[in-house]
Chains A and B, each alone.
Chain A
Amino acid sequence: MAKNTKKTPARSRGQSPRKKTPARKKKTASRRWFSWAFVAKVSLVLLVIGAAGMAYLDAMVRQRFDAHVWQLPARVYARPVELYEGRVLSREDMLKLLDLMRYRKDSRASTPGSFSAQGNSLLIHTRGFHDSDGGEKPRRIRLSLSGGQIQFLQAGGDGLARLEPLQIGSIHPQHAEDRVLVPLEEVPPLLVEMLIATEDQGFYDHHGVSLRGLARAMLANLKAGRLVQGGSTLTQQLVKNFWLTSDRTLSRKLLEMPMALLLELHYSKQQILEAYLNEVYLGQDGARAIHGMGLGAQFLFGRPLQELEPHQLATLVALLKGPSWYDPRRRPERALERRNTVLGVAVEQGALSQADFDKYSARPLEVVPRGASALYAFPAFIDLVRRQLARDYPPEVLSDEGLNIHSTLDVLAQLAAEGALKEHLDNRDPKQDKKLNGAVVVVAPAQGDVLALVSNRNSREAGFNRALDAQRPMGSLAKPAVILSAVQQPQKWSLATLVEDGPIQVAMPNGDLWEPQNFDKQARGAMPVVDVLAQSRNQATARLGLDVGLDKVAGTMETLGVTRNVPRYPSILLGSLALTPFEVAMMYQPLATGGFSTRLRSITDVLDKEGQPLARYPVSADEVIEAGPAFLTQWAMQQVVDNGTARSARAYLPEGLNVAGKTGTSDDYRDAWFAGFSANHLAVVWVGRDDNGNAGITGSSGALPVWARLMGKLPQRSLSQNPPAGVEWVWMNPNGQQVSAEGCGDARRYPMLEASIPQDADGCGAVKQTGKGIKGWFKGLFD
């Protein structure tokens, strides 16, 4: 459209595009078709078209300027790092965090985003941030770390401090533009001075177009015999960035000038400068276009613009002449030369002292390596956040309104999970010829916070999100649901009740026979319920599950949080139901909390672009399983790790830490699972192949090592061994039907629901241990 309006006058003269064409025509007088009336008509038409064109341009300029400058993608942050005395945090992890957040070493920690470390003692100048609770102001804190925890913290006030949350991504679905908006008052003045000195020295004097600049450019073009210089003002450059393509065509140039004039007519120099600084194109990061100095600072230096030093600011200005040509990563020599030119011009214009020039021009470029930024480092988790947000916000709100999304990601847990998966798969499948891949979900069970999500052994790669979308048969992970269903009927079953582990056949409605096999193809005979789980016996589980009732077991799975349709087939007892790793985490979450179901959340708070709270995703707790059966099931799952199929995990875990879990392997070794928890971490690991082929692995060999490595790296709290009301510790005869006593033959101690404690005693020790053990007390008293 805009181009058409310009072509019309050009046509009347054949070649020249200049607007004054009709006036010149007047002087070439005596053609036959000439008449004053004709000239008047043509002039009028051109005037109308010209006016319409200008009006159109004017509207375009204003509409785009008013709307576009403030389009900001939602930014996603990890959880802020809470600091307090006694918090488990190693010095190494603390330094890792500071490095990820690009804290600068500075012996006095004089500005936000800097720190100094001396031995175990750290001085940190935090950056501050907004939060639903008001957030934190930047401040200096002193802490000492030893023995793997914060021993001392001096933060003023009440002994609490938080490091600002690390930005881990942004959400910009429509146009792949990204931006970190920096208001003009927060832009370092030196950057503005260098920008004006280098790009447009007459910025404060011209009205959008600089004739002097144009003349200089034309001279240079004439000398070169082609277009080498634009002579554009900052205003024109902004116009180019905003509305036009970067082709150096004459028509673009012609549009640029009136638009620049219009821009200057409507907006102040300050507004134009601010828009320029936030809009200018600075390069490409894959599909993501880097716009604006704020994002440029993050992209090149991993830091906020306000924290950059003069030579880094000069590098940003240097890029303006050609973001690709002067790319400091690919063309460091060129970029360095251009940067020093910018520093030199700044000295000429009095923006920088000679001493500073000498100091900063000697510095290297100091750009961070591509991909080293935490931004876009966790694509699987960001995908989860995006999906949760998409339920509540329309896409344009997410791409335009600059929302600040506070997520639940725990950077250290995420890195530990990525490391554990990669290390294990690199061991098992170093050449990747077995095509093994995997997924890890880590959750803080009490609050349902998703702390980490890994969906690929090369965790930086986006793509198929195995943690959320790989739906695979859960195998023996289903067994705790069978055990739980059984002990929920305490008159019939306790963990000591014997179940036969031997061949079993079930006739299916279609005439087939269902004949589950044990993993080792052996039948072990009668065994207590707890061993059925700990040893993961298929035939005994099937027998128990069928006795309990398919409907009950399926119902238990649903109660635990399985939202898929659970078919009432016997094979569900052994895990034919396919779930994603994330869904397994949902199902295991109530088991980890002793029966309280909580929605898993990846977001805690949403703030607007000014940092004001907009929405919360609060924690919840629904008691879905009674305390007693929940405790029993959890205890049985502890036996899996203590002396069952997962005992090899012990080597990685601190001694005495009570954890619980379950191994899972699907048919033909296609899927290896482990799901398990301590009091504060629930982790689910899946390993298998994308093509669902035979991966040659079991839960114990394929997934458990990942889980154990990961859990061993995180600060853990033990599962409580204190039984809730209605549960007692009882020594039971191996027959599972009589109370016994400590030291009597093969008697074992079990947590028992009161209703399941037998009346009978085997005579050994001659004690019936009921009524909160009160009789035992008296017996002890008088023995």
Chain B
Amino acid sequence: MQMLFRVLVVSFWLTGCAVSVPDAPTEPMSASVELEGSPALSLLQRAETARQQGETAAAERYLERALNIAPDSSWLYKSLADLRLFEGDARSAEGFALKALRLAPDHPQYRADLWELVATARERQGDKTGADEARQHAADALMPGKPV
């Protein structure tokens, strides 16, 4: 069974190479990928509404509650990073984006987006070298077969 699986995976991979399209999930990453059916999803939605209304404290409280329910959600950490960047706290934003990366699924575009978020947060802290490094990671993320 395992052998069959490996053969299948390898053949898909090889097919992918032949037409030179990376073997990436085509579905865009979204909150519902991780949080479908979880009450954390509705807290995330409330957080987004609160943020749009400028109620950042409420947004934060919602996200913290959501994390208590779904502590391994990369998307929630990404949302926290976005919120912090929005609030002007670039340092925290970087930390949360890196945390989101640790938990991120193997989704090249999503990982690249997170590295881009890290790069922006570093830029805002005046860390040009760090930002460049993060951008390199973002580019690598979109290259097939390269661990990032």
| Chain B residue nearest to A754 in the complex (CB) | B147
Rounded to whole Å, the gap between the CB of A122 and the closest CB of chain B is 18
The one of B6, B43, B50, B148 that contacts A160, using a Cβ cutoff of 8 Å: B43
- A132 and B102: CB pair below 8 A? no
**Complex Cα spacing A772 to B148, Å:** 12
Quick check: B64 and A84 within 8 Å, CB to CB?
Answer: no
Contact B3 A780 (CB under 8 A): yes
A121 within 8 A of B: no
A447 partner residues in chain B, CB cutoff 8 A: 64, 67-68
Q: In the complex, are the beta carbons of B39 and A605 less than 8 A apart?
A: no
- Cβ-defined partner of B98 (8 Å) among A159, A619, A623, A726: A623
Find out whether the CB atom of B61 lies under 8 angstroms from the CB atom of A596.
no
Residues A133 and B95 in contact in the complex (CB < 8 Å), given A447-B64, A627-B102:
no
Cβ of A580 within 8 Å of any chain B Cβ, yes or no, is: no
Tell me whether B71 is interfacial, beta carbon within 8 Å: yes
Does any Cβ of B come within 8 Å of A569's Cβ? no
CB of A150, distance to nearest CB on chain B (Å): 11
- Choose among A133, A594, A621 the residue that contacts B92 (Cβ–Cβ < 8 A): A621
B124 at the interface (CB under 8 A from A): no
Known: A724-B102, A777-B6. A619 touches B147 (CB 8 A): no
Find out whether the CB atom of B39 lies under 8 angstroms from the CB atom of A84.
yes
- Bound-complex Cα distance A446 to B2 (A): 36
**Is B65 interfacial (CB 8 A cutoff)?**
yes
Query: Taking the nearest CB of chain B, how far is it from the CB of A680, in angstroms?
Result: 6
Residue A775 at the chain B interface, CB threshold 8 Å:
no
Q: Is B46's beta carbon under 8 Å from chain A?
A: yes
CA distance A622 to B96 in the complex (A): 8
Is A762 located at the chain interface by the 8 A CB criterion? no
Indicate which residue in A594, A604, A680, A772 contacts B64 across the interface (CB closer than 8 Å): A604
Q: By the criterion CB–CB under 8 Å, are A772 and B67 in contact?
A: no
Known: A132-B57, A621-B96. A159 touches B148 (CB 8 A): no
Interface centre among B61, B71, B77 (most CB of A within 10 A): B61
Number of A interface residues in the complex (CB < 8 A)? 37
Separation of A87 and B96 alpha carbons in the complex (Å): 25
Q: Is the CB of A620 within 8 A of B102?
A: no
Residue contact B147 to A772, C-beta cutoff 8 Å: yes
Judged by a CB distance under 8 angstroms, whether B42 is at the interface is yes
CB neighbours of A133 from chain B (8 A): 46, 50, 57-58, 61-62, 65
The answer to whether B95 and A620 touch across the interface, beta carbons within 8 angstroms, is yes
A605 touches B6 (CB 8 A): no
| A160→B80 CA distance, assembly (Å) | 21
A residues 758-783 touching B (CB-CB < 8 Å): 772, 777, 780-781
Say yes or no: A82-B68 contact (C-beta < 8 A), given A160-B42, A160-B43.
Answer: yes
Q: B71's contact among A717, A725, A726, by CB below 8 Å, is which?
A: A717
Neighbouring A residues of B14 by C-beta, 8 Å:
none
A133-B46, A133-B50 known; A619-B71 Cβ under 8 A: no
* Contact among A158, A594, A604, A781 with B6 in the assembled complex (CB-CB below 8 Å): A781
What residues on B are CB-neighbors of A726 within 8 Å? 147
Out of A84, A444, A618, name the residue touching B69 (CB < 8 Å). Answer: A84
Minimum CB–CB distance from A765 to chain B (whole Å) comes to 18
Residues of B within 8 A of A444 (CB): 68
The closest CB in chain A to the CB of B69 belongs to: A84
Q: A621 with B99: in contact, given A82-B69, A725-B147, A781-B10 (CB under 8 Å)?
A: yes
Do residues B3 and A623 form an inter-chain contact, with CB atoms below 8 A? no
Provide the bound-state CA to CA distance between A680 and B69, in Å: 11
A131 near B61 with CB under 8 A, answer yes
User: Among A619, A726, A772, which residue has the most Cβ atoms of chain B within 10 A?
Assistant: A619
The 10 closest A-B pairs by CB, nearest first: A158-B42, A621-B95, A84-B39, A133-B61, A133-B58, A132-B61, A725-B147, A623-B98, A132-B57, A160-B39
A-B contact pairs, 19 of them (CB 8 A): A82-B68, A84-B39, A131-B61, A132-B61, A134-B58, A160-B42, A447-B68, A594-B102, A604-B64, A621-B96, A621-B98, A623-B98, A680-B71, A725-B147, A726-B147, A772-B147, A777-B10, A780-B3, A781-B10
Other than the given A133-B57, A621-B92, A621-B99, 15 more pairs (CB < 8 A) read A84-B69, A85-B39, A131-B61, A132-B61, A133-B61, A134-B58, A158-B39, A596-B98, A604-B64, A605-B57, A616-B57, A618-B92, A622-B91, A725-B148, A781-B6
